[in-house]
Structure 1
Amino acid sequence: MSVSTPSRLAAGQEPVFVFGANIAGDHNEGPAAVAARFHGGAAGKWNGPAGNCYAVPYLDSKMRLLPLDVIGNYVSICCEYIAKKPALQFQITRFACEPGEYTDVQMSDLWRHAPENCQLPGVWLRTLDPRRAVRLLVFDPGEALTEPSRQTLMERFLAGKAAQCGSAQVEFVSIGSLPGIGATAQFARRLNRRHRVIGQNTSFYGDDAALTCERKAVWYATHLVDLFEVENTGRPEHMRVLGSARRGGLVVDELIG
């Protein structure tokens, strides 16, 4: 079965974008730059709501990591704010988990009791509850999954992943802006597995809808499998998605046929 991106929003809207900020209020990189460009994040505004976003500080003005309990206090304030806005949806980005920072276990625990209108990253959701289904982002622009040999390889991979993750439940995820959706959808139907397509919001993001679609798919997923094909190596979308997945904390696997 195929489903689109979950949403209780009107067409063209986006959830309030909750991102990690520095106390200098410089929103120049990563999700902070996305907040500034698309969601009304204001320079110098390092804590609280602005436009369609909400800043949660985790770095001081000299870009040093704040203590975990201090970040936790800001998260609690954010959750109190979110609880007072039940009509809105809030997308919580993954932050403070870069190398040398905190672990996903530590950061996700700060959001353990977040209100129901919070949408947490897939990695954090599964960290909080390992019984949740694996959300497997399939990178297959060449539609290799139409080949019987690749289907067999994928089935073996899924069996091994189920044993490794302690969950036989897998939800396939596709990036709506890239080719390969049809092959993944057909494979998911054959296995009677859920298939989610993360679509583009062109009315909100305009010409950048394809790139933000890739980022949202990585945010939603917990794992990525790259159905490796030599001709895809070095292509911009290949490098973007795999790089984003690794930075986003996803488990990345490569299937070479």
Structure 2
Amino acid sequence: MRDIFPIIPEPKIFVFGSNEAGIHGAGAARDAVDHYGAKRGKGHGLHGRSYAIPTKDRNLQTLPLPDIEVYVKHFLMFAEAHDDLVFFVTKIGCGLAGYDAVDIAPMFKSRPANVELPEEFLTIIEMEDLK
């Protein structure tokens, strides 16, 4: 059973895990196409009210964590440069890509204030800060 994502109010941007080919056939990627203007064939970046962060390659194989982290860093720079927008991040990489939240959440530690994270990511980041 997949997560069902609530419809987020405008003007928030729905941030989801994608594949580099931009197929967007399942999970949050499918929701991004159906509700937030994600474009098939566009595997990363802002499209409509969605922002794609690849967690799988063009052949739908899970990307290594360092590759995902590069895409996350690009996203965080984009979010910082667009502080007039608010970004709602889903648990990217934790569904079809197969990673655990503890693998992905720390990538968002240096996020700007306009990036909202899932509660589980926030808890992991807080626990990391206590170490």
- Tell me which interval the TM-score lies in, with the shorter structure as reference length: 0.7 to 0.9
Residues 62 and 111 (structure 1), Cα distance of their counterparts in 2 relative to 1, 3 Å cut: same
Partners of 2:112 and 2:13 in 1: how far apart? Answer: 14
- For 2:33, the equivalent position in structure 1 comes to 36
Q: Percent identity?
A: 31
Larger Rg: 1
Moved segments of 4+, more than 3 Å: none
Aligned 1:76-115 pairs, distance under 5 A: 76-98=73-95, 101-115=98-112
Partner of 1:91, secondary structure, is strand
Unaligned runs of 5+ in 1: 1-11, 132-257
Residues 100 and 79 (structure 1), Cα distance of their counterparts in 2 relative to 1, 3 Å cut: closer
The total of aligned residue pairs comes to 120
Higher relative contact order (CA 8 A, sep 6+): 2
Aligned 1:108-127 pairs, distance under 5 A: 108-127=105-124
Shift, 1:103, TM fit? 2.0
Partner of 1:19, secondary structure, is strand
- For 2:50, the equivalent position in structure 1 comes to 53
Residues 66-99 of structure 1: per-residue CA shift (max 9 Å, x gap) = 0101100010000000001111110001021238
Match of 2:12 among 12, 15, 23: 15
Partners of 2:75 and 2:95 in 1: how far apart? Answer: 21
Q: Which has the higher helix share?
A: 1
Residues 185-237 of structure 1: per-residue CA shift (max 9 Å, x gap) = xxxxxxxxxxxxxxxxxxxxxxxxxxxxxxxxxxxxxxxxxxxxxxxxxxxxx
